[in-house]
DNA sequence: AAAGATTGATTCATCAATCTTG
DNA sequence: CAAGATTGATGAATCAATCTTT
């Protein structure tokens, strides 16, 4: 029960800080980074529907976010030829570039703000517990 | 590094769910509950400034949230007589009542969604690590 | 009618500016 | 001027409604 409070507090202390650092040093928000990274993970291209499954955001929220990423030139959009309801996304060269930089910043920050604060043993426990929590809450 | 991702995901999976349940079954949002609980913890009355220190929210965000809680009749506001810049808050009877109900709901939900998913040993580790993260990030 | 995606209305958080009291 | 608090402008997330294609 105290652990729940500490969990909330840690998130509230860490995430906005990560977000600010990422914006300042890489020019993208944490959520943008997440989306770009997921597209990359799907091989640099995927459809909105697929992204929606991978990302923690409402469908409409994702739609607007991708709109913004497209406006900024980080992804290209085109209607899927196979199923014209779908929209295909592709990382642009600029998108890949910003993603590379963001990855570097993110790796540094996660290390200093998060990973360096716990032993490998503790990290394993945190990983295990957090996964269990997600599975139980959202058995996708 | 994987633990960081799992941490984010667990938060994103759990917190909105808690928030919805709390709204539905107690009529207040998670943040509202937090604020009411903090006022209660301060003995049922405190000043905005004190709340601001205890709660994870910007000063203006807190101001608007308390405005809403006052409109809903959960807290009363009055300028502090000692220092007329300050505003004193007090839980109303209705505020105490809604807080009681929210506490019960919250306790149940934290148990089933969070605490029951880990061993006591794991809970201790999570608590310890989360506290360390907060202290390092925000050495208040 | 259902799936995929977008748009409209609303809510709520933040930063920066402002107002009042010390 | 500094401290405590509020207000204005803006950004981003959600739900519900809508549009298009299957």
Structure tokens at B11: 């938060």
**pLDDT for residue B137 is more than 90:** no
Give A120's Cβ-side CA count (13 Å radius).
0
CB atoms within 10 A of CB A73: 12
In whole angstroms, what is the distance from residue A95 CA to residue A48 CA? 16
* Residue B86, min C-alpha distance to chain A (Å): 26
Confidence (pLDDT) at A53: 95
Greatest alpha-carbon pair distance for chain A in Å reads 52
B23 touches B89 (CB < 8 A): no
In percent, the amount of chain B with pLDDT more than 70 equals 99
In whole angstroms, what is the distance from residue A15 CA to residue A13 CA? 6
The reply to whether residue A10 touches residue B137, judged by beta carbons under 8 angstroms, is yes
pLDDT tens series, chain A, 140 aa: 899 999 999 999 999 999 999 999 999 999 999 999 999 999 999 999 999 999 999 999 999 999 999 999 999 999 999 999 999 999 999 999 999 999 999 999 999 999 999 999 999 999 999 999 999 987 76
**Strand pairing report for B45-47 and A75-79:** unpaired
Tell me if the pTM is above 0.85.
yes
The reply to whether residue B114 touches residue A3, judged by beta carbons under 8 angstroms, is yes
A93-125 pLDDT tens trace = 999 999 999 999 999 999 999 999 999 999 999
B43-100 pLDDT tens trace = 999 999 999 999 999 999 999 999 999 999 999 999 999 999 999 999 999 999 999 9
Secondary structure of residue A90 in the 3-state scheme: strand
Confidence (pLDDT) at B139: 74
Q: What are phi and psi of A78, to 5 degrees?
A: -155, 145
pLDDT band at B138 (very low <50, low <70, confident <90, very high): confident
**Strand pairing report for B75-79 and A87-91:** unpaired
Confidence (pLDDT) at A35: 98
Confidence (pLDDT) at B81: 96
| Three-state secondary structure string covering chain B | CHHHHHHHHHHHHHHHHHHHHHHHHHCCCHHHHHHHHHHHHCCCEEEHHHHHHHCCCCHHHHHHHHHHHHHCCCEEEEECCCCCCCEEEEECHHHHHHHHHHHHHHHHHHHHHCHHHCCHHHHHHHHHHHHHHHHHHCCC
Quick one: DSSP state of residue A134? H
Q: Degrees (nearest 5) of the Cα angle A82, A83, A84?
A: 110
The reply to whether residue B110 touches residue A13, judged by beta carbons under 8 angstroms, is no
The beta-carbon neighbor of A125 closest among B1, B122, B134 is B122
In whole angstroms, what is the distance from residue A19 CA to residue A28 CA? 8
Those residues of chain B whose CB sits closer than 8 Å to some CB in chain A are 1-4, 6-15, 17, 56, 107, 110-111, 113-115, 117-118, 122-134, 136-138
In whole angstroms, what is the distance from residue A32 CA to residue B37 CA? 34
User: Counting one residue from A and one from B, how many pairs have CB atoms under 8 Å apart?
Assistant: 128
Confidence (pLDDT) at B37: 98
- Which of B's residues 14-53 have CB atoms within 7 A of nucleic strand D? 16, 47-49, 52
């Amino acid at each position: 029960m105290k652990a729940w409070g500490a969990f909330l507090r840690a998130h509230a202390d860490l995430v906005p800080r990560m977000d600010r650092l990422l914006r300042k040093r890489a020019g993208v928000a944490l959520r943008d980074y997440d989306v770009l990274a997921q597209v990359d993970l799907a091989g640099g291209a995927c459809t909105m529907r697929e992204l929606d499954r991978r990302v923690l955001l409402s469908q409409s929220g994702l739609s607007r976010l991708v709109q913004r990423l497209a406006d900024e030139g980080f992804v290209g959009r085109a209607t899927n030829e196979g199923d014209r309801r779908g929209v295909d996304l592709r990382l642009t060269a600029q998108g890949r570039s910003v993603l590379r930089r963001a990855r570097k910043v993110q790796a540094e920050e996660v290390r200093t703000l998060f990973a360096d604060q716990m032993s490998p043993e503790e990290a394993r426990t945190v990983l295990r517990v957090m996964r269990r929590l997600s599975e139980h809450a959202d058995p996708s």
